[in-house]
């Protein structure tokens, strides 16, 4: 699968509210507790695409690899939490992701395109915020972890965009722009909290 050129142009995300970083840094335990579940849900979402589209060999291969990355991220975040003496907690849901998923159209083939683009948006937003944390954390191991996770999520965004382009060559770009606009609105409506999103 070749890379999509100019991916940041294909999925232009607005910058996070500058207050988010200060709120996140003020309660890193809450951020890590949420982050663990973000990584778990990313793995589950990738596997759910395999369940829905087993006939798409590229998608099956890429999503299996991506789920593997995400479960490794769960291990890495769990290790970080252990080093901090922090116990994981139950997931109380993600209103941001739920709002985005609400824009996924119900019928195929639009449904596949929208699922891929919504996951690309979530990866892109996660990458931005993990990168902000990487730039601001004091502890060297945590900084390095967050920098490597941010890089991985950019790669994942690009995988979803490549699959979206292959699934709907004529329409994926326009729909990506549309959903990026939706994401900006969802984010603006969403309280700023010590969470990844």
Q: Which residues bind Fe ion (CB under 5 A)?
A: 39, 42, 70, 73, 123, 153, 156
Residue 152 Cβ, how far from Fe ion at the closest point, in Å? Answer: 6
Choice between 39 and 183, CB closer to Fe ion: 39
Choice between 39 and 94, CB closer to Fe ion: 39
Give the Cα separation of 85 and 106 in Å (integer). Answer: 43
Choice between 46 and 167, CB closer to Fe ion: 46
Residue 184 Cβ, how far from Fe ion at the closest point, in Å? Answer: 20
Residue 73 Cβ, how far from Fe ion at the closest point, in Å? Answer: 4
Choice between 107 and 155, CB closer to Fe ion: 155
Choice between 155 and 190, CB closer to Fe ion: 155
Residue 170 Cβ, how far from Fe ion at the closest point, in Å? Answer: 27
Residue 65 Cβ, how far from Fe ion at the closest point, in Å? Answer: 11
């Amino acid at each position: 699968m070749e890379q999509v050129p100019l991916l940041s142009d294909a999925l232009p995300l607005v910058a996070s509210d500058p207050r988010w970083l200060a709120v996140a840094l003020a309660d890193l335990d809450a951020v890590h507790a949420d982050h663990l579940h973000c990584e778990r849900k990313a793995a589950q979402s990738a596997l759910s695409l395999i369940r829905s589209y087993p006939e798409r060999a590229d998608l099956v291969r890429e999503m299996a690899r991506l789920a593997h990355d995400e479960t490794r991220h769960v291990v890495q975040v769990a290790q970080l939490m252990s080093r901090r003496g922090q116990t994981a907690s139950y997931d109380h849901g993600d209103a941001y992701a739920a709002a985005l998923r609400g824009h996924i159209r119900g019928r195929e083939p639009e449904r596949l395109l929208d699922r891929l683009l919504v996951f690309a948006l979530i990866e892109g937003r996660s990458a931005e915020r993990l990168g902000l944390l990487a730039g601001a954390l004091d502890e060297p191991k945590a900084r390095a972890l967050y920098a490597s996770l941010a890089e991985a999520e950019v790669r994942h965004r690009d995988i979803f965009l490549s699959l979206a382009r292959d699934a709907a060559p004529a329409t994926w770009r326009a729909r990506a722009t549309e959903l990026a606009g939706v994401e900006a609105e969802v984010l603006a409506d969403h309280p700023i909290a010590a969470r990844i999103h």
